[in-house]
Chains A and B, each alone.
Chain A
């Protein structure tokens, strides 16, 4: 079913459908909030991740740190940021990775006022830019 927010570009709304898809993935990510679990994941990544019944695609995305893929497969940023924290990546560095801009350029964009809303409201605005 089409949703009102489907046409917002570069955005995945974590709605009930995404939440259901990403449940075990998100529970894996959030488990890394605690030191004992961080230690267990560090000692044996595959052994630890296999205690969470996620899909093979989700498992690969987590192990390979595919930050956009994780969101598309049902992950939510507040959960995937715990996996990022495990790898020593903070929110701003994570945004640098997801946008493909890299930390330096992303930080510079934020310092100069952030990503403008103009041209970033509708998917059609992004598609036009691709054509151009």
Chain B
């Protein structure tokens, strides 16, 4: 019988209080690298929001006579193979990339939570059907799934988001199912049930809210990976289409200029690196702060 059995579920039965919040802040901001990650993501989110006002140029306006310029006062990061300002594209790209990350992981987690929650709560046939379906999805690698979905629906931002969320969904369903199974036998839930609350109410009001911590952690940890996956899809020709500035597509398209114009790849490469790093750090920090018991598992 290991010592780490029920601690966190016990704790989560009581909603966080002011003291909890203080503890959260202390742990979360206790690690410098987490603070650094938070600052990076904060900065990128800000850039995504105010991008249109700070970007020096139109990110999709081509100027074939000024293509592939080195950095200068006019173009801090130079221009790309269409003569577009790289800095402006990076700034606008923050918006696209974050959007893809947040929407696809958001969609995946919502659908996954519902499926996983319902499966685990009801058990029996419902669980068997849902979980076999989840297993089937899970046995197909992300890239392969995306390839099939892109062939079905065509390329473009919406479909990239759909492909990425379908491929992430099983993870959330599993995680949620695991959570619900462990929580639903608790005295607290049994008490609510005996008071006559209906199933949906129990699911939404109690089970979901009580399972949310690990899901938040998982959410931040997969965000970075999802933004990276967009680059892979672009490489296979099923990612975000030109001229929309997206970091993944930018780095993929810049490959052929790598030797002569390395900045074309380095700029979006660094941006992706920062965003993945930032989200991972926040994820780590959240995990430690919300529930140290999750360490080693997420």
Are these two chains actual partners, yes or no? no
User: Which B residues are within 8 Å of any A CB, using their own CB?
Assistant: none
User: Which A residues are within 8 Å of any B CB, using their own CB?
Assistant: none
